[in-house]
Amino acid sequence: MAWQRRPEADIRARGALALLALALCSPGAGSQALEWYSAVVGLEYVDPQTNQTVWSVSESGRFGDNSPKEAAQGLVGAPAGDPEGCAPDARFFVPGGRGAAPWVALVARGGCTFKDKVLVAARRNASAVVVYNEETYGNVTAPMSHAGTGNIVVIMISYPKGREILDLVQKGIAVKMTIGIGTRHMQEFISGQSVVFVAIAFITMMIISLAWLIFYYIQRFLYTGSQFGSQGHRKETKKVIGQLPLHTVKHGEKGIDIDAENCAVCIENFKVKDVIRILPCKHIFHRICIDPWLLDHRTCPMCKLDVIKALGYWNPRMDRNCPLQNLPLSASLLGI
């Protein structure tokens, strides 16, 4: 029956949702895990107004994607005339720097690639490169890709932090920077191809589920209609069967040998006070046995006589090859 298909449709819908969940959550389906490390930035300088040493430490940096996760230190130097440090011949001003002492290049983001900035500073023997973000990003740092820059340490700091250090350097104050390894972070993200795949899979599964839902309700509608018609037909047939004569068996009744005759449906002998139904073919049966039989078969169990037709009624619904087989029995009785 049509209503039995619903569990299958539910299973398919749940399977579709499970597949979508796997597509979204499985790392093998296009998603990737991004690992990155924050950087601890320490600053030390002498305030020229108070002549006191100022120290500050904060986990305010982020290591570049291709940077070794190592500590580094040195005096901070900034490019002269080119804050972005993109020119191949850029020169850096390092207050307090002497000879081959380690120094850290401080450059602004933009103007060229991160790789170009790092290579320019590396040619000047910088021990590390610190890129400060653009003003529009505020206190946020971003991932940096700079493959091919070797083993030089590269970090990014926020714009306010970078401007604070740059102002000190431009005033000629020697600033010593110490870079340490901070916290390890794991971030899940989904690639563009994975998003497209999930979208297509979702739309496909929704179409399949909708098709199954429509199919289920169409089948249910047809089944309900057929059941309604069948019930109406059985009701009319029951009325016709009710016109067949009934008789209560009596002791010593002529024409019925209660010791020899039995009901062909239940194979039980007739007994006194049994209610029997007499068919047009003169065969007799228990009423409680023959009525349900006639509702389903309409023929005598013994001689196969069509009882309904024998009573003078004809229902085209009974004839399989009749094009009017959907007419109810009442229509047939009216001669339609």
Instruction: Give residue 259's pLDDT.
Output: 62
Q: Report whether 190 contacts 30 (CB < 8 A).
A: yes
**Residue 84 CB neighbour total at 10 angstroms:** 17
Tokens of 200: 């297509």
Q: Report whether 149 contacts 118 (CB < 8 A).
A: yes
Instruction: Give residue 264's pLDDT.
Output: 87
Q: Nearest-CA neighbor of 21 among 13, 35, 187?
A: 13
Instruction: Give residue 298's pLDDT.
Output: 83
Which band of pLDDT confidence, cut at 50, 70 and 90, is reported for residue 173? Answer: very high
Is residue 104 scored above 90 in pLDDT? yes
Which band of pLDDT confidence, cut at 50, 70 and 90, is reported for residue 19? Answer: low
Section 180-203 average pLDDT: 82
Q: In what order do the strands lie in the sheet with 284-286?
A: 246-248, 275-278, 284-286
Section 46-72 average pLDDT: 94
CA-based torsion, 318, 323, 329, 333: positive or negative: negative
Instruction: Give residue 178's pLDDT.
Output: 97
Token pair 């401080």: residue: 106
3-class secondary structure, 218: helix
Instruction: Give residue 318's pLDDT.
Output: 46
Is residue 86 scored above 90 in pLDDT? yes
Pick the CATH number of 31-190 from 3.40.50.300, 3.30.465.10, 3.50.30.30, 3.40.140.10: 3.50.30.30
- Of these ranges, 30-34, 140-144, 240-244, the one predicted with the greatest mean pLDDT is 140-144
Which band of pLDDT confidence, cut at 50, 70 and 90, is reported for residue 196? Answer: confident
Burial class of residue 107 in the structure, from the number of CB atoms within 10 Å of its CB (0-12 exposed, 13-18 middle, 19+ buried): buried
In the chain, pLDDT over 90 holds for what percent of residues?
48
**Residue 234 CB neighbour total at 10 angstroms:** 13
Write down the pTM of the prediction.
Answer: 0.51
Is residue 98 scored above 70 in pLDDT? yes
Q: 174 phi and psi, to 5 degrees? A: -75, 120
Which band of pLDDT confidence, cut at 50, 70 and 90, is reported for residue 230? Answer: low
Instruction: Give residue 111's pLDDT.
Output: 93
